[in-house]
Structure 1
């Protein structure tokens, strides 16, 4: 029975360490997306054209 308590304590300790590592990584900007903003401008024209086509077809229906 004492082995269960040891394993429980070790698993909780490992979970806390990984949680602290995750919090530190988020605070340091590890998960910031630096790639998408640089390519968004390349595809912006396609989004504007699609929106204008939808507006044009909606106005024709009315």
Structure 2
């Protein structure tokens, strides 16, 4: 019966760790640009002197 308590505590610690990582990535701005990545492949890069 004690193994159930140990595994429950470990799983809660892992869940809290993932929650902290999610909150940290949201506050760091990881998910702010949700428009550009899907549309970036549709347009060519602007021409520079080297690309002409």
CA distance in 2, matches of 1:29, 1:8: 32
Q: TM-score, normalised by structure 1?
A: 0.54
- Following superposition, which runs of at least 4 residues in structure 1 exceed 2 angstroms of deviation? none
User: Structure 1 unaligned runs (5+)?
Assistant: 40-62
Q: Which has the higher helix share?
A: 1
Number of residue pairs aligned between Structure 1 and Structure 2: 38
Relative CO higher for 1 or 2, CA cutoff 8 Å, sep ≥ 6?
2
State which structure, 1 or 2, has the greater radius of gyration over its C-alpha atoms: 1
Aligned position for 1:35: 36
Aligned position for 1:53: none
